[in-house]
Amino acid sequence: MMKSHKRLALFAVLLIVILVMSVVGSAFVMAQDATPEATPASAADFTPTTLVKIASDLKAAFDGKVADPSTVRLAIVVNVLSPFWTAAAIGEQAASSELGAPVVFEAPDKNNSIASQQSILESLVTDEYSGVAFSAVDPASVVNVVKEGMAAKTNFLLMDSDSPDSGRPLYLGLNNYNGGVLAAKAMLTALDNGNKCGTVCGFVGFITAQNAIDRIQGIKDTFKGTNCTLDNVLVDNGDPSKALSNAETAITTYPDAVGFIGLYSYNGPAIGQALTAAGKVGAIKLVSFDLEPGTIAQLKESPSPVSAAIGQRVYYYGYLDTYILYSMAAIGKDATLKVLDPYLSGDKHDSIDAGADVVTADTLPAYEDYLKSIGIKSQ
Q: Do the bridges between strand 199-204 and strand 229-235 make them parallel or antiparallel, or are there none, so unpaired?
A: parallel
Q: What does 2-22 look like in DSSP terms, one character per residue?
A: HHHHHHHHHHHHHHHHHHHHH
CB crowding 98-111: b at 16 or more within 10 Å, else e: ebebebbbbbbeee
Residues contacting 246, CB < 8 A, separation 6+: 203, 234, 235, 236, 270
Cβ within 8 Å of residue 188, ≥6 positions away: 194, 197, 222, 223, 226, 228
Q: Write the pLDDT tens digit of every residue in 354-366.
A: 999 999 999 999 9
Q: What is residue 12's predicted lDDT score, i.e. its pLDDT?
A: 38
Percent of the chain with pLDDT over 90: 87
Give the model's pLDDT for residue 7.
37
**At a CB cut-off of 8 Å and minimum separation 6, what does 261 contact?**
183, 184, 187, 200, 201, 202, 203, 219, 230, 286, 287, 288, 289
E strands of 24-94, at which residues? 74-77
Cα 47 from Cα 324, distance rounded (Å) = 20
Order across the sheet with 308-312: list the strands.
229-235, 199-204, 257-262, 285-289, 308-312, 356-359
In this prediction, residue 110 carries a pLDDT of: 78
Q: What is the pTM of this model?
A: 0.86
- Kindly list the structural domains of the chain, giving each domain's residue range(s) and its CATH number in brackets, ordered by start: 46-174+313-355 (3.40.50.2300), 176-312 (3.40.50.2300)
pLDDT (0 to 100) of residue 112: 75
At residue 39, the pLDDT reads 63
CB 310 within 8 A of CB 183: yes
Per-residue pLDDT of the chain (379 residues; tens, 9 = 90+): 433 333 333 333 333 333 333 333 333 222 222 333 446 789 999 999 999 999 999 999 999 999 999 999 999 999 998 899 999 999 999 999 999 999 999 999 876 799 999 999 999 999 999 999 999 999 999 999 999 999 999 999 999 999 999 999 999 999 999 999 999 999 999 999 999 999 999 999 999 999 999 999 999 999 999 999 998 999 999 999 999 999 999 999 999 999 999 999 999 999 999 999 999 999 999 999 999 999 999 999 999 999 999 999 999 999 999 999 999 999 999 999 999 999 999 999 999 999 999 999 999 999 999 999 999 999 9
378 vs 206: CA distance, rounded Å = 22
Amino acid at 126: T
Q: What pLDDT score was predicted for residue 41?
A: 87
**129 vs 329: CA distance, rounded Å:** 10
